[in-house]
Structure 1
């Protein structure tokens, strides 16, 4: 059971910081927080994402480009211009790395106010950091995996953030339902998002990009937004209206 607990903690913990910090804060700035809280959130993102840590700068800039160029040839990830899931993952990885290391020129409108803690990102994104996290996961499995099929969860844990991205950027552009007519193929993957912490309301998000609450209909409960409301009440963050 320890392996299952670890998997669930990393799935929902990593996903929360991806949607809360990288997506809603870095990319869309749907709320504000102090610089101290921002740096604490950087560290927490690294602790929960571990081997698959994503930089707020790289993610934020790339996601803004996704909204601007959704389902066109300039989109960093689109089922319309990638042959399969794996080719999309590889192209996304390459674009993310080029943005994060500033190897390609990016329009100022995509980088404006996107947070970057360069010194920390250099450590958290390093190959050494990723290897150490992977080794720690393997050691945990050696100690607690009681049956062979639990080992199938190991590669998912090591590559969890990219897998989260694929679920939304591939499948939520192919399957699901639509609340709003938009210029792209974004869809709401689940009517009740128990799996992706609100990210599955992708069509809603493409219609209202900077909206803190991704849910629109009564049954579209956004778990991340509920946590954000609590943090707003506690004055940890301030949600923009």
Structure 2
């Protein structure tokens, strides 16, 4: 994709923070509507399908494509990706990607917009998202995609995809589909996504020296279709796969790989051999250190037992 020109027109600031706050909490509260619908496993599967469709909109579209340009696609499918991402109710692709690029630039410093080590769990999890300061974004942070008028339009009107999606669910499946496929799914989707801002910088293992607190967490990887390999990602963020090795489950990457077989996406960027070799070396060193520590504990325990018997 060609880079944009150096002069990028500024984004018009949105001056409706209070309205957004009200809308946000109303959407969160709609999960309580689940008590108005008799339980059904079919509806649970509707919620699950809706969850993973829109999670891919965040992981594959907003994150790996718009934020990190880790693969290429056509202009048409680029818009489709932005639309699916917007269905998650996490604003537009340009807004999301611009703030995410800032996060990587200042990760776990005072300028990081959602660092749990600096600002606490709940702020990093969701409250930063509600601040008036972040209603806007700097267009210069995302010139590669800001140049497309249809993306700017969708970014300004990011409420259209979720509204359209909600109407479609109601038309197809009635009130039950709307409640489970939209309300329940959106609530879980939002909090699952935000765990990458909060929990993945607190719980997990560290493979690479990424100069921040990012960690790899298999449970978060399963929950977010591969985003839980956060330490991998922060060390080499331009890779389309965040699970660097075959045993690190990354469903988002699997989907993108399949799409590449049909020519829908292409030029999937992978971590270089040097990065993979370094990761393997670090894993081996940690394994050896763990085995040595376990051996030392066993020897100390046996020595203590001998001393007790000799006394």
The TM-score with structure 1 as length reference comes to 0.79
Partner secondary structure for residue 144 of structure 2: coil
Matched, 1:77 2:114: yes
Matched, 1:17 2:17: no
Matched, 1:60 2:97: yes
Alignment deviations for residues 139-186 of structure 1 (CA, whole Å, 9 cap, x no partner): 9685479xxxx98x9755334453133211100000011111211000
Residue 152 of structure 2 is aligned with which of 90, 114, 118?
118
* Counterpart contact for 2:202–2:213, Cα < 8 Å: yes
Of the structure 1 ranges 112-121 and 227-236, higher mean CA displacement relative to structure 2 is found in 112-121
Partner secondary structure for residue 182 of structure 1: coil
Partner secondary structure for residue 193 of structure 1: helix
Residue 78 of structure 2 is aligned with which of 38, 44, 51?
38
Tell which structure's C-alpha radius of gyration is larger.
2
CA distance in 1, matches of 2:111, 2:174: 40
Superposed CA RMSD in Å reads 3.0
Alignment deviations for residues 185-216 of structure 1 (CA, whole Å, 9 cap, x no partner): 00011179332111010000001100111112
Residue 237 of structure 1 is aligned with which of 265, 275, 286?
265
Going from structure 1 to structure 2, the CA distance change for 1:218 and 1:120 (only over 3 Å counts) comes to closer
CA distance in 1, matches of 2:232, 2:54: 22
* Counterpart contact for 1:192–1:221, Cα < 8 Å: no
Q: CA deviation at 1:234?
A: 1.1
Match of 1:97 in 2: 135
Give the number of the structure whose residues are more often helix, by fraction.
2
Match runs of 1:122-201 below 5 Å: 122-125=156-159, 142-143=175-176, 156-190=184-218, 193-201=221-229
The TM-score with structure 2 as length reference comes to 0.63
CA distance in 2, matches of 1:87, 1:201: 18
CA distance in 2, matches of 1:26, 1:5: 29
Partner secondary structure for residue 213 of structure 2: coil
Partner secondary structure for residue 81 of structure 1: helix
* Counterpart contact for 1:192–1:220, Cα < 8 Å: no
Going from structure 1 to structure 2, the CA distance change for 1:85 and 1:141 (only over 3 Å counts) comes to farther
Question: Which sections of structure 1, spanning at least 5 residues, go unmatched?
Answer: 100-105
